[in-house]
A = this chain, B = another copy of it.
Amino acid sequence: MYRKEIQVTTSHEGDILDITHQVREIVRESGINEGIAHVFVAGSTAALTTIEYEPGVLADLSRALSTIAPDSIPYAHDRRWGDGNGRSHVRASIVGPSLSLPVADHDLLLGTWQQVVLLELDVRKGRSRTIFVSVID
């Protein structure tokens, strides 16, 4: 088992960061040839998934998340806590915080157009995010 953290700073709500390169680097450093890489974001207003990292698709994904949890409706969370991020929590829980990827020959097995991304869903600008990568053989 080999674990390392990725630290990133996101810039705004809806920011989507391609972290594939950092995950690949950790896999290489681990020295593990065959196994799985588990990726997890700490926090309840961010999520992880894979996507083709192309600006059009990223905009389309953001719009779909707004369909599930619109910006314009009232949230019970916001009434209680005044954070204004009720929609962020909902979107994050539906997409999910964890992702596992196959590792072969010291690298990730991904589709050609498939990148690993962090979705920043919180409304607070300039958030620091910690992502844990665990490589297991």
Interface residues of A in 53-95 (CB under 8 A from B): 54-57, 59-61, 64-65, 67-69, 75-81, 86-87, 89-95
Task: Please encode chain A, from 34 to 66, with 1 for each CB lying within 8 Å of some chain B CB and 0 for all others.
Answer: 111010101110000111101111011100110
Taking CB atoms, residues of chain B closer than 8 Å to A59 are 76
CB-defined A-B contacts under 8 Å, sample of 24: A1-B34, A35-B134, A38-B100, A38-B102, A42-B109, A44-B111, A44-B113, A52-B77, A54-B80, A55-B76, A56-B77, A56-B79, A56-B81, A57-B86, A57-B89, A57-B90, A60-B69, A60-B90, A61-B93, A64-B68, A64-B69, A67-B67, A97-B99, A109-B132
